A and B are shown apart, each in its own frame.
Chain A
């Protein structure tokens, strides 16, 4: 059951700067990258190679940390250390700046669109998570500011089917948020990691959450509800059902769960990219993951981000501190 990762292409996307994030468009045909050179680049395939289609270098005054496509593919959001989040609208061959979301006190670390396309979440070193609503006229309004974390918030991610948000922080915790009476609040706090939690990913069905950390582990969490007849609070509680330890040599910066195949990919500070698969014979309540593929020196420096193509099974993008991104083909049986 051993798999393999084959390198398809390596691109020097952000020369002399870190490439922090890569994100596939919902159609799977475009790849957005962003980095320390304050620019966002859009890449498309021409024949066998990936070419730069567009450069957005006037939107931010500092590092662009995260880019995210709207579910419809017409908009792009970019989160920056300049404390703003820019919303871009796709025109024929280009992107134009639609609006700039302000409010965070310092660096915005992440931005994420809800599957409905009507909500956006951002998080920052100011310890807060902001939820924004978009209306039909492309107007953005902040509807909630939640201060559940005690430190820098690194990542936010939406549940694939429910209106539920998760955030990861330098305070070593993960928070889960739900809307109650028009206000978003923290419903659960997941503790267990021994250092900063860098990223999160829900499984395709939204039943489990993967988190990755500076403690060099990946944890899988599952929501558990009290069994019938049990007394106790009706609040949902999340339990850690699996910990992947001993696989990563340094900080795990990103984790991505493939919607098509269920494979789990990680980006690590030891320059490696790994893919994990779930053992299908094991009880899903206590899952077991094994490492299916590993490229030890996927990049010459830290790997910051990993992203599965939403349409083409096994196609994976990664990016690194050396300003490169790489496209890989993952085969589960090689």
Chain B
């Protein structure tokens, strides 16, 4: 892992951000229970009003690949790293997982569809997030322009 929080990918390919989500009548109805859907998860991961570059624009997480099943309490995120470097991909994956775990209700099971077996092992993820040095890097990752 390179020192500090700068991604190695200094000149990422930028993709067109998808359209703003239009509010529908059901969205505005206060009495309807608000199930969590794909777009909401995607927004949790990519929206950062203070910084222009988002995960979506870096193509680290694409909307098509977020799948939510509110009834079964599962969220699956297919994560494609922009750069093949293994340690950075694991760190990005860990940050995504941490962000989702913190933002979603406890009942949700988060599945990261990636080739990285470690990210799917909750004991490994728990131990990694207990490591204060690693946790700090993850927190910095979640607060910079990349997320």
Known: A196-B121, A302-B122. A107 touches B127 (CB 8 A): yes
A158 at the interface (CB under 8 A from B): no
A250 to B122: give the CA distance in the assembly, Å: 12
Q: How far is the CB of A215 from chain B (nearest CB, A)?
A: 12
Is B124 in contact with A152, judged by CB distance below 8 angstroms? Answer: yes
Residues of the A chain whose Cβ atoms lie less than 8 Å from the Cβ of B122: 302, 321
Contact with A along B93-119 (1 / 0, CB 8 A): 000000000000011010000000100
Range for the number of chain A residues in contact with chain B: 20 to 34
Is A18 in contact with B126, judged by CB distance below 8 angstroms? Answer: yes
Known: A301-B107, A322-B106. A36 touches B123 (CB 8 A): no
Chain B residue with the shortest CB-CB distance to A269: B109
A88 at the interface (CB under 8 A from B): no
Residues of the B chain whose Cβ atoms lie less than 8 Å from the Cβ of A36: 126
Residues of the A chain whose Cβ atoms lie less than 8 Å from the Cβ of B71: none
Q: How far is the CB of A200 from chain B (nearest CB, A)?
A: 16
Known: A170-B121, A196-B121. A300 touches B106 (CB 8 A): yes
A81 at the interface (CB under 8 A from B): yes
B130 at the interface (CB under 8 A from A): yes
Residues of the B chain whose Cβ atoms lie less than 8 Å from the Cβ of A269: 109
Contact with B along A286-312 (1 / 0, CB 8 A): 000000000000001110000000000
Residues of the A chain whose Cβ atoms lie less than 8 Å from the Cβ of B107: 300-301
Q: How far is the CB of B128 from chain A (nearest CB, A)?
A: 10
Residues of the B chain whose Cβ atoms lie less than 8 Å from the Cβ of A125: 124, 127
Residues of the A chain whose Cβ atoms lie less than 8 Å from the Cβ of B126: 18, 36, 63, 81
A329 at the interface (CB under 8 A from B): no
A109 at the interface (CB under 8 A from B): yes
Closest 8 CB pairs of A and B: A107-B127, A81-B127, A62-B130, A81-B130, A300-B107, A63-B130, A301-B106, A322-B106
Q: Which residues of A contact B (CB under 8 A)?
A: 18, 36, 62-63, 65, 81, 107, 109, 125, 152, 154, 170, 195-196, 214, 250, 269, 300-302, 321-322
Q: A36-B126, A300-B106, A300-B107 are in contact. List 9 more A-B contacts (CB 8 A).
A: A62-B127, A81-B126, A125-B127, A154-B123, A196-B121, A214-B120, A269-B109, A321-B106, A321-B122
28 pairs from A and B in contact (CB 8 Å cutoff): A18-B126, A36-B126, A62-B127, A63-B126, A63-B127, A63-B130, A65-B123, A81-B127, A81-B130, A107-B127, A109-B123, A125-B124, A125-B127, A152-B124, A170-B117, A195-B117, A196-B117, A196-B121, A214-B120, A250-B109, A269-B109, A300-B106, A300-B107, A301-B106, A301-B107, A302-B109, A321-B106, A322-B106
